[in-house]
Amino acid sequence: MARFTTGTNPRHFHRSQIKFYVILTPISLFMILPIIFIISHALKPLDELFLYPPRFFVRKPSLDNFIELFAATKSSAIPLSRYLLNSIVSTALVIFFTIWVSVFAGYVLSKKDFNGKNLIFSLNNLALMFVPTAVTIPRYLIIDKVGLIDNMLVNVLPIVAMPVGVFLVKQFIDQIPNAMIDAAWIDGANDFQIVKNVIIPMVKPALSTVGILAFQMAWNSTEASTLYLNNDNLKTFAFYMTTLTSSTGNTVAGQGMAAAASLILFIPNLVLFIIMQSRVMNTMAYSGIK
Amino acid sequence: MLSPYLILFFLFIAMPVFIAIGLSFTYFNTVQTPKFINIQNYITLLTRDDVFMQKVLPNTIKYALIVGPGGYILSFILAWLLAQLTRVPRTIFALIIYSPSLTSGVTMAVVWSVLFNGDQNGYLNSLLMRMNLIEKPIQWLQSPDYLMTIMIIISLWSSMGVGFLAMLAGILNISDELYEAAYIDGIRNRVQEIIYITIPSMKPQMLFGAVMSLVNTFNSSGIGVALTGSNPTPQYAGQLITNHIEDFGFIRYEMGYAAAVSTVLLLIIYLASKVAWKLFRDD
């Protein structure tokens, strides 16, 4: 580095980096404040929740809110564990199918020649911008027509096709030399074996990214529960949480429970991302549109 | 092997778009079969829907212009700042800055509505009152004066998503030689370095980031309804196009009309993405 004392991606700490810390620290504090708040709020006993003046941090952490949350749902027709189970099962299915579908689509779009390939990929790129809320109504009609209303699968199928996922995986598979795939062909592997034994091990970083994105989408999704499911037994935890806040509103007991529920909803997101973050960053370097 | 993706793609992504366009030319109340009424919905939208013209459209434009480019520029600046640090602190900061987008803004409405609570127990009210800046609590979320600003802050807060990660990775992958060459060619300051080297070398990631920020903008727009707990939001202060669609589609059951509004929204997103594509494609 010739001119600047601090360059991009430095290897060692240097005094000149201090200014970046000075700028970034307050920004990160602002970013993390609400997150700390959910954690702290969820642990507050009732008297601290409604303390005046309100206090940001918890003094005497307790698990009362969680106990109350589980107790409150015990008396209702559907226990909390049911919502959690629905969320866990549908999220797991979404992750599995999204990865599976994306890797096959990415493989075909990257390594096969056929008519309309470019058209499909550009349609996919266009669909990167797809905003589900804009077409809620037609989606509802289609889901009604294919008979998915009040079907557990409605938590899964509509979000399995993930244009961002196909896009990222395809960009990654583009980096794999054709010679490798040809070699596998000559050894007598079929397409499924190639994907399983050659492609998947090589694009693992991209697949973990797809997995994370799919997880976030499925775990936080309330759309299916709000619109397509009338049977409360099939609704998800994220949806249950929104009902906690809107139906109990600002009532005394509701707030603590809502805080506890939002913590339960948030933690898996964070943990999973922390575990996977290096792979995710790695994938994003290849996110260029070529 | 492509077929599972194609089937799901057409069923849940492409078909809804075509149906929306089709339905937008009909009167459809979800009970009777849609009745073809030509472009009547669009005429109503343009001439008679005062709420749309006076509140929803200006709100959406304001919201999108601030949250879209704002979030985008912010994520580039933050990514660039992070890239100037060594690995371990960079990872920690990146995690913190990314963490808000791990939750959807709507689920976080619980937290925000406590912070902006309208009585003296709200954190912001309490803070301002103790600092003697205000005398009585402000109805942050129910008052049309503040709702939009709060929505924008929350959306910006949660906008450092996938695009931000892509930009960070993009900056880190620019080779040192490029910078070296630039110093020899006489680049004198950081601004020049960013404009002539950093941004051109990561155009693909910049484009990806732009597209993602566009998507995030429209996906986070449920926040107004989530915060106030009602659709329409008080005096339509935080009403965005997507809320308007839900209002007509699922509350008033005027599906045809709602579909026309959806078509307009899709058109807006398409045009915005065209602009992004033009700006960042290197050819």
**What are the pLDDT digits (tens) for B77-87?**
999 999 888 88
CA distance linking residue A148 with residue A153, whole number of Å: 7
| ipTM reported for the complex surpasses 0.95 | no
Burial class (CB in 10 A: 0-12, 13-18, 19+), A87: buried
Burial track A2-35 (b if 16+ CB lie within 10 A, e otherwise): ebeebbbbbeeeeeebeebeeebeebbeebeebb
CA distance A255 to A249: 7
pLDDT at res. A2: 43
CB pairs under 8 A between A and B: 295
Long-range contacts of B219-222 (CB under 8 A, 24+ apart): B219/A131, B219/A132, B219/A133, B220/B67, B220/B104, B220/B105, B220/B154, B220/B155, B220/B158, B220/B159, B221/A133, B221/B60, B221/B63, B221/B155, B222/A133, B222/B105, B222/B106
Q: Is residue B257's pLDDT more than 50?
A: yes
- As a whole number of angstroms, the distance between CA A260 and CA A69 comes to 7
Residue A215 vs residues A92, A150, A269: alpha-carbon distances, Å: 8, 22, 8
pLDDT the model gives residue A290: 46
Residues pairing with B36 in the sheet = B26
The pTM assigned to this predicted structure is 0.85
Choose the mutation target among A23, A31, A273 for the interface with B, i.e. most B CBs under 10 Å: A31
Please tell me if residue A197 touches chain B, with a CB cutoff of 8 Å.
Answer: no
State the best of A130, A172, A193, A213 to mutate against chain B, taking most chain B CBs within 10 Å.
Answer: A130
What the block records as the tokens of A13 is 């700490």
* Count of other CB atoms within 10 angstroms of residue A243: 17
| Per-residue pLDDT at A100 | 93
% of chain B surpassing 70 pLDDT: 97
Instruction: Name chain A contacts of B23, Cβ cutoff 8 Å.
Output: 137-138
Label residue B54 exposed, middle or buried (CB < 10 Å: 0-12, 13-18, 19+): exposed
pLDDT above 50 for B236: yes
Q: Do A129 and B250 touch (CB under 8 A)?
A: no
Instruction: Inform me whether the C-beta atom of residue A177 falls under 8 Å from chain B C-beta atoms.
Output: no
Q: Is the CB of A22 inside 8 Å of chain B's CB atoms?
A: no
Nearest to A10 among B86, B121, B221 (CB): B86
Mean pLDDT lowest for which of A55-64, A260-269, B243-252, B259-268? A55-64
Of residues B146 and B188, more confidently modeled = B146
Phi-psi region of B235 (alpha: psi -120 to 50; beta: other; left: phi over 0): left
Instruction: B76-80: list long-range contacts, CB under 8 Å, 24+ apart.
Output: B76/B167, B76/B206, B76/B209, B78/A24, B78/A27, B78/B160, B78/B164, B79/B164, B79/B167, B79/B168, B79/B170, B79/B171, B80/B171, B80/B194, B80/B198
Nearest residue to B69 (alpha-carbon basis) of B212, B232, B188, B213:
B213
CB contact under 8 A, A120 and B6: yes
Q: What residues of chain A lie within 8 A of the CB of B171, using their CB? A: 8
Of A8, A141, A250, the CB nearest to B174: A8
Beta bridge partners of B35: B27
What pLDDT is attached to residue A1? 43
pLDDT by residue for chain A (290 residues), tens digit each? 444 555 677 777 877 788 889 889 998 988 888 888 888 888 888 777 776 666 777 778 888 888 877 777 776 777 788 888 999 999 999 999 999 999 999 999 998 888 888 899 888 888 887 777 778 878 888 898 888 888 888 889 888 999 989 988 998 898 888 998 899 989 988 888 999 888 999 898 889 989 998 998 898 888 888 888 888 888 888 888 777 765 544 555 667 777 788 888 888 888 988 888 888 888 887 776 54
The closest alpha carbon to B169, from A163, A21, A280, belongs to A280
Interface of A with B in 202-221 (CB under 8 A): 213, 216, 220
Is the C-alpha dihedral spanning B121, B123, B126, B130 positive or negative? positive
Question: Is A9 in the B-facing interface, judged by CB distances under 8 Å?
Answer: yes
Round the average pLDDT of chain B to a whole number and report it. 84
Q: What is the pLDDT of residues B124-161, one digit of tens each?
A: 888 888 887 787 788 888 888 888 888 898 888 888 88
CB A148 within 8 A of CB A228: yes
Tokens of residue A154, six digits: 């409605």
Residue B254 has pLDDT above 50, yes or no: yes
Are A135 and B176 in contact (CB < 8 Å)? no
- Write out the two tokens for B9: 């793609």
CB of A137 less than 8 A from some CB of B: yes
Residue-wise over A135-148: b if at least 16 C-beta within 10 A, else e? bbbbbbbbbeeeeb
Residues in chain A within 8 Å Cβ distance of B168 = 281, 284
**Yes or no, beta carbons of B1 and A216 under 8 Å apart:** no
Query: Do the chains contact at A289 and B107, CB–CB below 8 Å?
Result: no
The pLDDT score that the predictor gives to residue A53 is 66
Q: Cβ of A24 and B157 within 8 Å?
A: no
Contact A31 B82 (CB under 8 A): no
Nearest by CB to B83, from A8, A213, A277: name it. Answer: A8
Chain B hits for A227, CB-CB cut-off 8 Å, are 250
pLDDT of residue B25: 92
Residue A34's SS3 state is helix
Report DSSP state, residue A113: -
Q: Are strands B26-27 and B35-36 parallel, antiparallel or unpaired?
A: antiparallel
- Flag whether residue A36 sits within 8 Å of chain B, measured between CB atoms: no
Are B97 and B159 spatial neighbours (Cβ–Cβ below 8 Å)?
Answer: no
Residue B110 pLDDT level (bands cut at 50, 70, 90): confident
Q: Residue B74's pLDDT band (boundaries 50, 70, 90)?
A: very high
Alpha-carbon Rg of chain B, whole angstroms? 22
Task: Closest CB to A17: pick one of B84, B91, B222.
Answer: B84
Q: What burial class does residue A182 get, using C-beta atoms within 10 Å of its C-beta: 0-12 exposed, 13-18 middle, 19+ buried?
A: exposed
Letter string b/e over residues B257-273, b meaning 16 or more CB atoms within 10 A of that residue's CB? bbbbbbbbbbebbeebb
Return the higher-pLDDT residue of B21 and A9: B21
DSSP chain B: --HHHHHHHIIIIIHHHHHHHHHTTEE--SSSPPEE-TTHHHHHHHHT-HHIIIIIHHHHHHHHHHHHHHHHHHHHHHHHHHHTS-HHHHHHHHHHHHGGGGS-TTTTHHHHHHHT-SSTTSHHHHHHHHTTS-SS---TTT-HHHHHHHHHHHHHHT--SHHHHHHHHHHHTS-HHHHHHHHHTT--SHHHHIIIIIHHHTHHHHHHHHHHHHHHHHHGGGHHHHHHSSSSPGGGTT--HHHHHHIIIIIS--HHHHHHHHHHHHHHHHHHHHHHHHHH---
Residue A139 in contact with partner chain B when CB distance is under 8 A: yes
- Cα–Cα distance measured from residue A58 to residue A36, given in angstroms and rounded to the nearest whole number: 10
Which of B4, B23, B107 minimises the CB distance to A220? Answer: B107
